[in-house]
Structure 1
């Protein structure tokens, strides 16, 4: 006898639990990168994070062998690698400069930049409610940064650039998944990004300690687990259901930042992050509603 299928409410709960697990995985990535800190040059840390994570891609080799790689695919792949390499390098730098909560909250802007990129680069149409949601998200970013009321650290600017570069990477990924299996797209990114970073990493190479290698290996492991959990969450429930759960990641970040690194709890970061997530959740809900009609 086959196992009974999950009801819609049960699938939604399962999706939310997978999303909660994802938030914890991604915050653990931040914690481990924070522990590496300034012990290694930023570009070397980013390079080793991807290099050590290649072991997790072995299961995708079968799918990769079946793909016929065209010049267009290679062009998109290396274009994405450039964006992703920039994003990762800026993110690693930001983690050494500003609190974890601010890194997480500013990274929430990523879907907003993706929306703007789709409009500016691909000519997608945008309605007034979506524009208003983008305005709310932008105001949320200003609440976090508070320009004019405090000094803007280079880490803040680096994190904003990181979120923009991640948006470019994901926009290209959206084109690639129309031609390749998702596992192959992830494999190509994970192989090409260290190739892009390597020449710059070796310019200021420092021999990493075993402790630093272990931290970066577990960084790669948690990142892989987080992406897997996110995929499972989206398979179980609509994005409009699970997207708001991402806000929990900010709670994890602020809590771990306070407990492990003595970082102050900034209510403006939580408020700004809540505004950004509310805007993203509204956009996600609206898109899901449009598809259903």
Structure 2
């Protein structure tokens, strides 16, 4: 087996990619809401365009970003890209990093539910059990009635749902749709929608804030490129599970930088949610469907990186 196709190296690259995503997300929190969420999403997406040369195949045209065989689904990804990006920024601004991640890790459960409703997938009891475990974990973390919930919790739910819809759309559109079109829908959605919304409230970033805005966008783009590389080295079912290492980074950042703490119930809830996600991934590996790989990135595009259509991207 040659080094470029070593599964072990692919898994290691995946771990590195998810670490890069975690640093990207930490850049949001370091801003402490000093820049409006719409503006952060807009600037981050502009920096995120750095990944486009790696997405574009040699036979693709840049106009393929706005072309589609199914305009309604393309527009749905357009909207979900913007909603997911803005919601994730609000989530990391308002919540401790570990809590933000554990709520966004409900993504696999949302995908399961939406796949049943819209794709008519046959979901057996194992995947439903994983969904139930995930929502039980959320109840343990949130403890409704015992602690105050905030807009950050709502944003996490919206962000996870938007990302799940994007993945279901990806499955529905299938491999016939060009990856540049799929990627362009969410990226353009974030740029255009957040660009319009930020006109009512803008702030001039300081040099240090520009650094973290660039870190957010460029690291997110780099994470996507690294996941594409990992997907060429190892099967998607091996590339997906390392996403949960983001929780370790979140706990470390929270403790060392943001003075966050995790109590025993929250730790138990996090474990339940992670178990739920891993159970879902274990079931998905036999189905040949795009896996819900990374729950958060600059443009919520990471699931594209491990689809079969991208595993040969480097050969285009």
Contact 2:19-2:246 at 8 Å conserved across structures: yes
In structure 2, what is the equivalent of residue 26 of structure 1? 21
TM-score in terms of structure 1 length: 0.87
Which structure has more helix as a fraction of its residues? 1
- In the alignment, the residues of structure 1 paired with residue 222 and residue 41 of structure 2 have an alpha-carbon distance, to the nearest angstrom, of 18
- In the alignment, the residues of structure 2 paired with residue 68 and residue 158 of structure 1 have an alpha-carbon distance, to the nearest angstrom, of 28
Q: Cα deviation per residue 1:218-244 (whole Å; 9 max; x = unaligned)?
A: 211111122222233333333443433
1:68 is displaced (CA, Å) by 9.5
Q: 2:214 aligns with which of 217, 238, 262?
A: 217
Equivalences for residues 232-243 of structure 1 within 5 A: 232-243=229-240
- In the alignment, the residues of structure 2 paired with residue 245 and residue 263 of structure 1 have an alpha-carbon distance, to the nearest angstrom, of 23
TM-score in terms of structure 2 length: 0.81
1:154 is displaced (CA, Å) by 2.0
Equivalences for residues 95-244 of structure 1 within 5 A: 95-244=92-241
In structure 1, what is the equivalent of residue 83 of structure 2? 86
- In the alignment, the residues of structure 1 paired with residue 287 and residue 62 of structure 2 have an alpha-carbon distance, to the nearest angstrom, of 38
1:120 is displaced (CA, Å) by 1.1
Task: Provide structure 1 residue ranges, at least 5 long, that are not aligned to the other structure.
Answer: none
Against the structure 1 CA distance between its residues 100 and 5, is the aligned structure 2 distance closer, same or farther, given a 3 Å change threshold?
same
1:110 is displaced (CA, Å) by 0.9
In structure 2, what is the equivalent of residue 14 of structure 1? 9
- In the alignment, the residues of structure 1 paired with residue 54 and residue 131 of structure 2 have an alpha-carbon distance, to the nearest angstrom, of 39
Contact 2:97-2:251 at 8 Å conserved across structures: yes
1:27 is displaced (CA, Å) by 0.8
In structure 1, what is the equivalent of residue 268 of structure 2? 271
- In the alignment, the residues of structure 2 paired with residue 151 and residue 68 of structure 1 have an alpha-carbon distance, to the nearest angstrom, of 42
- In the alignment, the residues of structure 2 paired with residue 107 and residue 48 of structure 1 have an alpha-carbon distance, to the nearest angstrom, of 22
1:102 is displaced (CA, Å) by 0.7
1:125 is displaced (CA, Å) by 1.6
Larger radius of gyration: 1
1:23 is displaced (CA, Å) by 1.9
Q: Secondary structure at the match of 2:135?
A: helix
- In the alignment, the residues of structure 2 paired with residue 103 and residue 220 of structure 1 have an alpha-carbon distance, to the nearest angstrom, of 19
In structure 1, what is the equivalent of residue 248 of structure 2? 251
- In the alignment, the residues of structure 2 paired with residue 158 and residue 251 of structure 1 have an alpha-carbon distance, to the nearest angstrom, of 22
Against the structure 1 CA distance between its residues 267 and 239, is the aligned structure 2 distance closer, same or farther, given a 3 Å change threshold?
farther
In structure 1, what is the equivalent of residue 40 of structure 2? 45
Q: Secondary structure at the match of 1:38?
A: coil
Task: Provide structure 2 residue ranges, at least 5 long, that are not aligned to the other structure.
Answer: 289-316
Contact 1:144-1:268 at 8 Å conserved across structures: yes
Against the structure 1 CA distance between its residues 207 and 146, is the aligned structure 2 distance closer, same or farther, given a 3 Å change threshold?
same
Against the structure 1 CA distance between its residues 135 and 30, is the aligned structure 2 distance closer, same or farther, given a 3 Å change threshold?
same
Against the structure 1 CA distance between its residues 94 and 192, is the aligned structure 2 distance closer, same or farther, given a 3 Å change threshold?
closer
- In the alignment, the residues of structure 2 paired with residue 238 and residue 269 of structure 1 have an alpha-carbon distance, to the nearest angstrom, of 32
Q: Cα deviation per residue 1:15-70 (whole Å; 9 max; x = unaligned)?
A: 32122112211110111001122211111111111122223324545523484965
